[in-house]
Amino acid sequence: MKTVFSPVELKHAPKNEIADGQLRPAVEIPSRAEIVLRTVQERALGEVVEPLDFGSQPLHRIHAADYLAFMESFWDRWIAEGRTAEEAFPYVWPIRSLRADPVPEHIDGLLGRYSMDAGTPIGPFTFEAAKASANAALTAAQLVKDGGEGSAFALCRPPGHHCGKDFFGGYCFLNNAAIAAQWLLDQGAHRIAILDVDYHHGNGTQAIFYDRPDVLFLSLHADPRHEYPHFLGHEDETGEKAGTGFTRNWPLPLGTGWETYSEALEEACRWLHVYKPDYLLVSLGMDCYREDPISKFRFNSEDFTSLGQRLKRLGLPIVFLMEGGYAVDALGTNCVNVLDGFKR
């Protein structure tokens, strides 16, 4: 299986995040991608290729033009404001009773207007890295569509599944899976399924496709009653309008291990079997691991192999896209276990 990765993805290098009432060391850091890359090479998963540049058009198919313009211009504005902090955080949001529009002109208003949380710093090279990450997703999709590959791995960083049409958050700035899904549809595919196995609910991806039947969104994750993103990912969210029935969520209790997880996974696989997508995109987080520093599931490293093996049995063309996973020492092993399990 080929891996798609660009060193430009490493240029987003957050120092801190706001968590637990503190400025804490960031967990979504460049070494995550480096260890996955190294393990891909050590275990000879397959060739590593650089992404092609798909330009801005595929981004505009998912994200709002004003959001993309904000992301593109943000760091220059931050500097022009005379801000000296080496990374930016939002602190005020247009929640209930406040107006998202008109879009503010003040830099702090803009940050809040286009974000969902205070845990996702923006630095000088954040958007450049996010675009490289999206290009990795698109290139992996193209390898499977035109390159004669039955599967490909987009080593995406920063991740994508929390950010929506017009907001960043959850360490995500461009929704890589959504961008790749829409690109495949625009190339002539009829139905795409996205299976999100990151520990956190993929709120951004769900919201983007919530009213559409051409993208089936399935997510297994920690119950949002007890875990980030807190405000989406409940069992009763099943889509709306033409998309009714094309979203499914399996919120699972804190402490979930492979035994419980795999039962929910079997249900998700049945949905995939019925839907018969042209392509399956897997939002692949490794944060279900028992040692993950911000998560509370109990996967062992071998369970990631089982996950890959189960996905193989679906017999679908598949694009893996990396999302979360913060136990850096084991991240390479856990990620390549999925991909290796899939190959076997």
| Strand, helix or coil for residue 75 | helix
C-beta of residue 306 within 8 angstroms of C-beta of residue 262: yes
Least distance in angstroms from the C-beta of 156 to Zn ion: 13
Distance CA 287, CA 289 (A): 5
- Token pair recorded at residue 338: 């999925």
184-243 residues near ligand SP5, rule: CB under 6 A: 198, 200, 228
Q: Does the N-terminal peptide bond of residue 229 adopt cis geometry, omega within 30 degrees of 0? A: yes
Phi, psi of 307 (to 5 degrees): -60, -50
312-331 residues near Zn ion, rule: CB under 5 A: 324
Residues sharing a CB contact under 8 Å with residue 314, sequence separation 6 or more, in sequence order: 269, 272, 273, 280
Q: Could you say whether residue 159 binds ligand SP5 (CB under 6 A)?
A: yes
Q: Could you say whether residue 324 binds ligand SP5 (CB under 6 A)?
A: yes
Least distance in angstroms from the C-beta of 198 to Zn ion: 4
291-310 residues near ligand SP5, rule: CB under 6 A: 294
Pick the catalytic residue: 12, 63, 162, 221? 162
Q: Which residue's beta carbon is nearest to the bound Zn ion? A: 324
Q: Which of 287, 292, 303, 340 binds ligand SP5 (CB under 6 A)?
A: 287
C-beta of residue 87 within 8 angstroms of C-beta of residue 16: yes
Binding mask 187-206 for Zn ion (x = CB under 5 A): -----------xxx------
**162 catalytic per annotation:** yes
Q: Could you say whether residue 177 binds ligand SP5 (CB under 6 A)?
A: no
DSSP label of 55 = -
For ligand SP5, give the closer residue by CB, 199 or 210: 199
Select the span of 2-10, 147-155, 167-175, 299-307 touching ligand SP5 (CB under 6 A): 167-175
Least distance in angstroms from the C-beta of 170 to Zn ion: 7
Phi, psi of 279 (to 5 degrees): -140, 145
| Distances, alpha carbon 194 to alpha carbons 67, 92, 197, 198, 271, in Å | 23, 32, 10, 12, 11
Q: Which chain residues interact with ligand SP5 by CB under 6 A? A: 19-20, 119, 159, 162, 170-172, 198, 200, 228, 285, 287, 294, 323-324
Q: Would you name the residues annotated as active-site residues?
A: 162
